[in-house]
A and B are shown apart, each in its own frame.
Chain A
């Protein structure tokens, strides 16, 4: 298999796993799909490192494995256990609508990326378009899902998308930069989860739609 095809195929797997994360009702299962997606992302980093002879991407792969494939699913699972008896809120839109929106964002991402004069190998353009679409999938998850933990997963999806964009366009940036971004992401998840747990303990709900006391 052509190495570029491998990267683009793996990127396709990212889309599939994203949709599973968004549409699955149980948080535990969503977290597992997210873990699978993170492993795919790690594989993409490894493949990119080999193809582009970018050694630093091996480190990115290692840090993504620890933070995204292990740490984040672990944190989400612990939070889920703390709130095991919570009634899972319904999504704001039906799965068919969110799938349609996902498809639209994918098409727009491909069109925009093809229009841009980016100095990136043409073979990587599909992967780049997927990474941008992935970022929008994350936002879609935050906008359409009312479950606070699902919104946290939406943030994680966005973060995976921007991480892939970063690997494709800015892999030669100093390593400290990647460490900074990864640290922000992990702290982001931890802080959101702690807030979600506090909200659940105080308000006995995980439904973002019930957070309506502040208006105007």
Chain B
């Protein structure tokens, strides 16, 4: 079904980004005008995105621009993440950036640049999740790097410029591999598809995947995994991630971790669907299992020795991307659905944690966990947010990540990967220890001298509180719309396989250990 909302969803942030740049020239109340335009930008993305999602829920998929843009249920899961996290983190940005201006970290001119780039970055991520043209998908992923590079280095410090440089170099080199993978698939598809215009569309390639050359497909997928895996933060291509996540302003770190990594992951999933259709799922499953497990293991070890809270969260992103990739490697309806559910859950929790780390920075002016102590006395609500986020990240009930982590492990055991799952659980125990240390030292302990007591303003806390509410709600109850969307998305990923209610399947397998999921899906 065609919908004009899809084109407007992409156009709105670009137009508003340009408007923010133009507003920089206005003398009177410049900051306020820029903030209003920023709010209009993130709100329009949220509203138009929800309208697109409604179209997907009722029609199955929506298209625009001669099929170049296409949102099916799979893309809709990622679109939901972009618009919800983009909106909440965008609102949080206002308080955070105001504080940066107050402390002299950012000039007013830089603030305009920040907000203009924020909208541009949002546009590039929306383009990734809505692209149907596979080469345009690559262009969009490359554009996300270019759109966010200055956001990473916006402070202009030695370390932030270094992080921005490494980010641009590693990601452009890495993502270039993705272009080769894309070209290989296209050049093979164009040979037997009469219309070059059709051979470039993902929806058409999937239909004709069986005619593609198996060797070329495998080679292409390796290129795709290296290329887009760099952007997704899969080990060992994750080298840019801890630097960029830690040096960027906290709202940008949240966008990078919660949204950008997932966008790149969607592209990998898209290509894996082509492969699974063309040559069967064994090849992609094995690759996903290896890289997923390596990501979890390496990230857990790095996390254990981290003293910088934002670097700790960055490595936690590598760990969680690893878990999602593991879920994809386990495959089947249960594995894929668990992976998609974890994608949503991790995005919510990680944006909460990066926003909370932003509050810590505003309060303590350091990211060093050795110096951040006694938060309960300094800012009780923020320390509650930190506790909820940390407990959610380690997979503690009743929070959302418990459900998805458990689902991945349960799907893995049922698929016959018992030893691999046990090894993963051991590394997850290391992660548990790392975050427990955060709670015990940062929340409790003696408040250092010179740290002002007092909670943050409501407009700083409100978006993070909404994130916390979503984390708790999704831990206890899965709304029927999300349930339906996840089942439909799993069906897209497993195209051609018989339709099953994957979530019910997971709940049955979870048995007595998954009361919360059962509660969530009860009619």
Q: Is the CB of A172 within 8 A of B190?
A: yes
In the assembled complex, how far is the CB of residue B18 from the closest CB belonging to chain A, in whole angstroms? 15
* 1/0 contact string of A182-216 vs chain B (CB within 8 Å): 01100110011011101100110000100111101
Majority-rule SS of A interface residues: helix
User: Is B186 touching A170 in the complex (CB atoms < 8 A)?
Assistant: yes
Is the pair B168, A191 in contact by a Cβ cutoff of 8 Å? yes
Contact in complex: A192, B190 (CB < 8 Å): no
The A-contacting residues of B in range 182-211, CB under 8 angstroms, are 183-184, 186-188, 190-191, 196-197, 200
Indicate whether B247 reaches chain A with its CB closer than 8 angstroms: yes
Q: Is the CB of A117 within 8 A of B165?
A: no
Q: Does A116 contact B (CB under 8 A)?
A: yes
- In the assembled complex, how far is the CB of residue B427 from the closest CB belonging to chain A, in whole angstroms? 19
Residues of chain A with a CB closer than 8 A to B186's CB:
169-170, 173
C-alpha spacing A169/B247, complex, angstroms: 40
Contacts of A208 in B (CB 8 A): 165
Q: Is A151 an interface residue (CB 8 A)?
A: yes
The answer to the question of B408 belonging to the interface, with a C-beta cut-off of 8 Å to chain A, is: no
Contact: A187 with B146, CB < 8 Å? yes
Q: Which A residues touch B519, using CB under 8 A?
A: none
Q: In the complex the two chains form, is B187's CB within 8 Å of A119's CB?
A: yes
Docked-complex contact A169 and B183, CB < 8 angstroms: yes
Q: B306 contacts the other chain (Cβ, under 8 Å)?
A: yes
Which residues from B are CB-within-8-Å of A203?
158, 161
Nearest B residue to A181 by beta-carbon distance?
B139
**Contact B176 A158, beta carbon cutoff 8 Å:** yes
Chain A residues within an 8 Å CB radius of B139: 177, 180-181, 183-184
Q: Which of B288-330 contact A (CB under 8 A)?
A: 302, 305-306, 311
Q: A63 on the interface (CB 8 Å rule)?
A: no
Chain A 90-132 interface residues, beta-carbon cutoff 8 Å to B? 116-120, 132
Of A116, A191, A213, the residue contacting B149 (CB under 8 A) is A191
Is B259 interfacial (CB-CB < 8 Å)? Answer: no
CB distance from A193 to the nearest CB of B (A): 11
| Bound Cα distance A184, B158 (Å) | 26
Size class of the contact patch on chain B: 35 or more
Q: Is B30 an interface residue (CB 8 A)?
A: no
Which residues of B408-436 are within 8 A (CB) of A?
A: none
Residue from B179, B196, B215, B311 within 8 A of A172 (CB atoms): B196
Distance between B370 CB and nearest chain A CB, rounded to angstroms: 14
* Chain A residues near B157 (CB-CB < 8 A): 202
Known: A148-B165, A195-B149. A177 touches B216 (CB 8 A): no
Give the Cβ gap from A38 to chain B, nearest Cβ, in Å.
17
Q: B133 at the A/B interface (Cβ < 8 Å)?
A: yes
A-B Cβ contacts below 8 A, count: 127
Complex: chain A residue closest to B186, CB-CB: A170
**Residue B368 at the chain A interface, CB threshold 8 Å:** no
Place the interface of chain A in its size category. 35 or more
* Inter-subunit contact A177/B159 (CB<8 Å): no
In chain A, residues 18-41, which have Cβ atoms closer than 8 Å to a Cβ of chain B? none
Residues of A within 8 A of B187 (CB): 118-120, 169-170
Taking a contact as CB atoms under 8 Å apart, the answer to whether A198 and B161 are in contact is yes
- Cα–Cα, bound, A169→B181 (Å): 12
Interface string of B134-168 (1 = CB under 8 A from A): 01101100110010011001001111011111101
| Contacts A170-B187, A173-B135, A177-B136 given; does A158 touch B165 at CB 8 Å | no
Contacting A198 at CB < 8 Å: which of B146, B153, B200, B305?
B153
Chain B positions within 8 Å of A216 at CB level: 242, 302, 305-306, 311
- B213 near A214 with CB under 8 A, answer no
The reply to whether B176 and A135 form a contact with Cβ atoms under 8 Å apart is yes
Residues of the B chain whose Cβ atoms lie less than 8 Å from the Cβ of A198: 153, 156, 161
Q: Are B135 and A170 in contact (CB under 8 A)?
A: yes
A67 is an interface residue with CB less than 8 A from chain B: no
Q: Which of A169, A191, A199 contacts B161 (CB 8 A)?
A: A199
Asked whether B162 lies within 8 Å of A211 as measured between CB atoms, the reply is yes
Residues of chain B within 8 A of A192, CB atoms compared:
168-169, 172
Query: Which residue of chain A has the shortest Cβ distance to B182 in the bound complex?
Result: A170
A139 and B172 CA atoms in complex are apart in Å by: 10
Contact of A155 with B306 at beta-carbon distance under 8 Å, contacts A116-B219, A191-B149 already known: no
CA distance A203 to B159 in the complex (A): 10
Contact in complex: B173, A191 (CB < 8 Å)? no
Asked if A119 meets B176 with Cβ closer than 8 Å, knowing A191-B149, A191-B150, the reply is no
Chain B hits for A139, CB < 8 A: 173
Interface residue ranges, B against A (CB under 8 Å): 133, 135-136, 138-139, 142-143, 146, 149-150, 153, 156-159, 161-166, 168-169, 172-173, 176, 179-180, 183-184, 186-188, 190-191, 196-197, 200, 213, 215-216, 219, 242-243, 246-247, 302, 305-306, 311
- 6 more contacts with CB within 8 A, not counting A184-B142, A192-B169, are A117-B215, A173-B186, A177-B200, A184-B139, A187-B146, A213-B162
3 tightest A-B contacts by CB? A169-B187, A180-B139, A172-B196
Query: Can you list 26 A-B contacts with CB-CB less than 8 angstroms, sorted by A residue number?
Result: A116-B215, A116-B216, A117-B216, A119-B187, A135-B176, A139-B173, A155-B172, A166-B183, A173-B200, A174-B197, A177-B133, A180-B136, A184-B142, A188-B146, A191-B149, A195-B149, A195-B161, A195-B168, A198-B161, A199-B165, A202-B161, A203-B158, A211-B162, A211-B165, A214-B242, A216-B242
